[in-house]
Amino acid sequence: MRALVAGGAGFIGSHLIDALIAEGHDVVCVDNYFIGTRENVKHLAGNSHFKMYEQDLADFGVVNKIFKAEQVDYVFHLAANSDIQASAGNPAIEYHNTYSTTFSLLEAMRLNGVKKLFFASTSAVYGEQMGREVSEEAVALKPISYYGGCKLGSEAIISSYAYMNDMSVLVFRFPNVIGPRLTHGVIFDFVNRLREDPSHLRILGDGRQSKPYLYALDLIDAIMRFKDVKKGVTLYNVGVETQSSVTRIAEIVCEKMGLSGIPFEYTGGRGGWKGDVPVFAYNLDKIHAAGWTASMTSDEAVEKTVEMVL
Ligand SMILES: NC(=O)c1ccc[n+]([C@@H]2O[C@H](COP(=O)([O-])OP(=O)(O)OC[C@H]3O[C@@H](n4cnc5c(N)ncnc54)[C@H](O)[C@@H]3O)[C@@H](O)[C@H]2O)c1
């Protein structure tokens, strides 16, 4: 197939491109390097199965021209603002990069007869709800960040385009993803702070924020396995059953850096920042029943990622 990967110069998108090319597909990547990097796709330069467009996906005119030129038959939509803290003070970042990119891509799909879509959604659409009741069937979706709101808005408009245009759509809602090519987040912050000053470690919140961390290559495995879906929208929560607390992540970083007895200084409060969901876990029964489970626990994914960052 000829696939368009929107946001393909990003952390997850670049791994997806590698997997698609390894499976024998041609890939057209569109990314404006808003957060993604040239470094992530550098190894693909000169590969006849790869083509790069440096363009803003919120610009429908540009997107439509790419669709007309490239005749793709599957769109993998991973473009978004992935820096949730940054958009807390400027919601327009989400409207442009997370919501409008979805609209442009859907409209170009409609006008060019493209029927297959993968959408990278997020556990942030559930907001602060957690536990067994947070399955794909949960009716009350209450995002608390602008990012989560624009992802949920994207899911809504995808649902209508799928119905109106007989599209086959796979939506994955996943939590924090870590692994090779990661560029920001709590692991980076801790490593950088300790490199600058190993006398103590400042930790946002009370350290008990606890979330599942999914290894990037586990996620890619699930996308590749489930990408051929029937007509309509197929939705899965994708993640790991276990969680890692912020304090546990700090301990793992210290262990791997060979530092012991470092005092942890907590800024206090439940969450790291407003819009952060401090404790999260959700129901993964559906994807497990479909035959997929992550190969690594949350702590294992943290350990492996810390080793790569160091
Ligand atoms: N990393 C996670 O923990 C996580 C969790 C849940 C969902 N997701 C979703 O998965 C997807 C990939 O996440 P990631 O961690 O690889 O983030 P990322 O920031 O590395 O990748 C997103 C890519 O989209 C590009 N982009 C953003 N706005 C654009 C625009 N207007 N035009 C063109 N390109 C644009 C960025 O430059 C970047 O390369 C995102 O949609 C994200 O919301 C990520």
pLDDT value at position 180? 94
Question: Can you read off the two tokens belonging to residue 206?
Answer: 């009370």
- Stretch among 41-45, 54-58, 136-140, 148-152 having the lowest mean pLDDT: 136-140
To the nearest whole percent, how much of the chain has pLDDT over 70?
A: 98
Pocket test for ligand 1, best of 28, 78, 211, 249 (most atoms within 8 A of CB): 78
- Asked if the 180-212+242-282+291-309 domain carries CATH number 3.90.25.10, the reply is yes
State the distance from the centre of ligand 1 to the C-alpha of 7, rounded, in angstroms: 6
Looking at domain 2-177+213-237, its CATH class is alpha beta
pLDDT value at position 122? 95
Please determine, for residue 169, whether its predicted confidence score (pLDDT) is greater than 80. yes
At 16-25, the pLDDT tens digits run 999 999 999 9
State the distance from the centre of ligand 1 to the C-alpha of 97, rounded, in angstroms: 9
pLDDT value at position 40? 97
Confidence of residue 189 (pLDDT cuts 50, 70, 90): very high
Domain parsing of the chain, residue ranges: 2-177+213-237, 180-212+242-282+291-309
Q: Name 195's Cβ contacts closer than 8 Å, sequence gap at least 6.
A: none
Confidence of residue 58 (pLDDT cuts 50, 70, 90): very high
- Euclidean distance between CA atoms 195 and 106, whole angstroms: 44
Confidence of residue 307 (pLDDT cuts 50, 70, 90): very high
At 119-156, the pLDDT tens digits run 999 999 998 877 778 888 876 899 999 999 999 999 99
Q: Ligand 1: residues within 6 Å at CB?
A: 7, 9-13, 31-36, 56-58, 78-80, 82, 97, 101, 120, 122, 174, 176-177
**How many other CB atoms sit within 10 Å of the CB of residue 309?**
18
Please determine, for residue 303, whether its predicted confidence score (pLDDT) is greater than 80. yes
pLDDT value at position 272? 65
Confidence of residue 282 (pLDDT cuts 50, 70, 90): confident
Confidence of residue 164 (pLDDT cuts 50, 70, 90): very high
Q: Which atom of ligand 1 is nearest to 9's Cα?
A: 39
pLDDT value at position 138? 75
State the distance from the centre of ligand 1 to the C-alpha of 103, rounded, in angstroms: 16
Rounded to the nearest integer, the mean pLDDT of the chain is 95
CB 106 within 8 A of CB 154: no
Residue with tokens 């602060």: 128
Same fold: 2-177+213-237 with 180-212+242-282+291-309: no
At 82-111, the pLDDT tens digits run 988 889 999 999 999 999 999 999 999 999
What Cα–Cα distance (Å) separates residue 121 from each residue in 71, 82, 96, 117, 156?
25, 11, 16, 12, 11
